[in-house]
Structure 1
């Protein structure tokens, strides 16, 4: 993946940021109510919990969030401490990534709580804010995604509405050929899609399997750590969310959209014309395991594909799944960890920072001041944890 070029180096400081800590009174005067909501969602707290910790009523916190009143200046440091953000976080005057549930495609929506969705949306908003800050300094790959409203390479061009046809056309546009889609996550980044995996600290987000956001100027896909750390499931999730981005302009949360995204992912990863001649006519598990490794998909998904294309009956598929369950953990059937596949790990934002760091002297602390985040938060979202040892007095 190539980051095209470094942008200019003149980046004026936003009001109230980068000039040392603003006073509580200055923050009170420039208090931005939506920032409080964002910080509360990210912290996973209710209005009542925040109210109890700062010594006000839940109704008062609600008024702070609607903008009908502001927290007293002396409450602002305590509010920042409770929500684990710098006091300057609450200042107006900088771009904010705001999403609602219609702008994000959540898998298993009914099993996802409102608090988890809000935390995930807050996290995604922060990812966009970080991306925006980096794009002022580094030219990221152009958005080459037909069907996405903000596409730069194919503006206004849409893919077919039928999922499999859309997947085939995208394969052609991206030059993926007829064989296995190598390094799918890296391919997505190379075509302008921001892909991230949330840090473990964002527990409310990591409980959600994966989701995509289409309501921002750049498409975003969040791939959470899968319970089995399975690279094949990881790749299918990436393809599924890519399907949402090109097929669905808004999320309805219904099962039909999920089925369409699954069909898109299956055709993108295993095109029917290419995979059909390779699939065994009888359920040969060893053969399926070989195909699995070559094409980067799970044996389970290949069994489903055999049933989907009419090669086997539902009863045969059911027996194959039962047989597969007895083989799990054996050589060829063990989940492959994502860590062993560098091309399936997102790197675009980290590489953008490293390029700006090298050519412009950008530091983590500079981004933290501009974004009004703690430096540790910037590192988390860049996937650059602080390697320095934590020292404790004993």
Structure 2
């Protein structure tokens, strides 16, 4: 296969050109049709015709097109599994602040995450998907329809009991949900987290803008889990869905019947800081719990939030980075790759060739570090 890729000619790519791969590569590069057209010396209408499958790029355009989009020429060939995702079925945590090109890039990212998982799954048996009602890209949940009921139902289904949940991301991966980090992508800061259950495996993407605080990170993961459970069969973009996902996350992480006996009867922020460490949720979230359960009035909660702002730099109230919590960092794809390397002699180069990706892309999505030897000079 590797030799065949090297022997590939622009004419062969032009003859078999897959227009959907051009769209995917353009979205991943966050470029408009006009920008691509300007860089390869054609009109925007021509690029539109290439993506619509009306015409194919001339052979002499294939190398510059691949260079502009930072993909091998083989990327434009058909015949590989393509995880096509309707963007309307991806739930974005901050939809209103996310621009169209960023959403398109995020959707293309999810497609590639699935393609990587699929390639690994041909060699390694990944955990079976264990979401009630999920079947190959569709969810017809048997859980209660209200967010709190669904959260309690999923806890029971996963055997998590009614107490604090440690290692939430690891629990999700153990149930067959693919969790990914776009580690080096400036657009990810704006996109925030997003998820979809419209692929053969549910996928959750947790983005870097919440890595500085483990408590926000965990709540975001639970929020996206709520989307998978509650909104798998509905188009995304409804603010009501976001509120429901928040309600799911609150009940999933801090079940009302379990947390209320531990909440203070007044706005005791030190006590809430102690509970933060036990339940793995922010003091802000616990204050909200106090207010919604009637332990605090709106005015008392408002004053508590104001006091909380003055305590942000004090012990017990500062942010704690995700890097200190291995159980909240995804490892499914990396461990699958390691197992395939040991059992099936898989290499990153082989995988990159099979997917027709740059090897740097494979390493990024798996989470591999650059493996160049370090030069050490001894004086």
**TM-score normalised according to structure 2 size:** 0.95
Take 1:243 and 1:265, find their aligned partners in 2: how far apart are those partners?
Answer: 6
Moved more, 100-109 or 327-336: 100-109
Distance 1:228 1:319, change over 3 A: farther
Count, aligned residues: 374
Q: Is the 8 A contact 1:195 1:346 kept in 2?
A: yes
Match of 1:128 among 99, 114, 124: 114
Give the Å deviation of 1:103.
1.4
1:385 aligns with 2:369: yes
Q: Which residue of 2 aligns with 1:25?
A: 11
Please give the alpha-carbon distance, in whole angstroms, between the structure 2 residues aligned to 1:250 and 1:78.
40
Question: Equivalent of 1:63, from 49, 72, 82?
Answer: 49
- Give the deviation of 1:226 after TM superposition: 2.2
Distance apart, 1:234 and its partner CA = 0.5
Q: Deviations over 1:79-113 (max 9, x none)?
A: 00000000100001111111122210012212110
1:203 aligns with 2:186: yes
The answer to whether the 8 Å contact 1:232/1:296 transfers is: yes
Map of 1:102 onto structure 2: 88
Gaps of 5+ in 1: 1-12
Residue correspondence of structure 1 range 236-385 to structure 2 within 5 A: 236-248=219-231, 249-385=233-369
Whether the 8 Å CA contact 1:54–1:78 is kept in 2: the answer is yes
* 1:141–1:191 CA contact under 8 A, matched in 2: yes
2:36 aligns with: 50
> Contact 1:148 / 1:245 at 8 angstroms: preserved in 2?
no
In the alignment, the residues of structure 1 paired with residue 16 and residue 213 of structure 2 have an alpha-carbon distance, to the nearest angstrom, of 46
Which residue in 2 is equivalent to 1:92? 78
Identify if the C-alpha distance between structure 1 residues 365 and 254 changes in structure 2 by more than 3 Å, giving closer, same or farther: same
**Change in 2 beyond 3 A, CA 1:238/1:343:** same
Change in Cα spacing, 1:17 to 1:192, as seen in structure 2 (3 Å) is farther
Q: Is the 8 A contact 2:75 2:357 kept in 1?
A: yes
C-alpha change, 1:381 and 1:18, in structure 2 (3 Å) is farther
User: Alpha-carbon deviations, 1:158-196, whole Å to 9, x = none?
Assistant: 211010010001101111111101100000000000001
Structure 1 residue aligned with 2:217: 234
Of Structure 1 and Structure 2, the greater helix share is in 2
Structure 2 stretches lacking a partner, 5+ long: none
**Any conservation in 1 of the 2:19–2:50 contact (CA below 8 Å)?**
yes
| Inter-partner Cα distance in structure 2 for 1:21 and 1:40 | 24
- Given that 1:117 and 1:205 are in contact with CA atoms closer than 8 Å, whether structure 2 keeps it comes out as no
Give the aligned CA root-mean-square deviation in angstroms.
1.7
1:18/1:369 contact within 8 Å kept: no
Identify which range, 237-246 or 17-26, moves more after superposition.
17-26
Q: Does 1:74 align with 2:60?
A: yes
Q: Deviations over 1:207-241 (max 9, x none)?
A: 21101111101000000012561110000000000
The verdict on how the C-alpha distance between 1:91 and 1:151 changes in structure 2, with shifts beyond 3 A counting, is closer
Task: Tell me the SS of whatever aligns to 1:212.
Answer: strand
In the other structure, the counterpart of 2:24 is: 38
Deviations 1:268-327 (A, max 9, x none): 000001100000000111100000011000000000111111111111111111000000
Runs of 4+ in 1 over 4 A off after TM superposition: 16-19
- The answer as to whether partners of 2:97 and 2:191 remain within 8 angstroms in 1 is no
CA contact (8 A) 1:198 1:381 kept: yes
In 2, Cα distance between the equivalents of 1:371 and 1:228?
29
- Out of 248-257 and 278-287, give the one that drifted further: 248-257
> What's the offset of the Cα at 1:342?
0.3
SS class of match (2:179) = strand
CA contact (8 A) 1:38 1:122 kept: yes
Q: Distance in 1 between matches of 2:261 and 2:188?
A: 40
1:182 match: secondary structure: coil
| Range 49-58 or range 103-112, more displaced | 103-112
- What's 1:118 paired with? 104
1:147 deviates by: 3.6
Matched ranges for 1:189-228 at <5 A: 189-200=173-184, 202-227=185-210
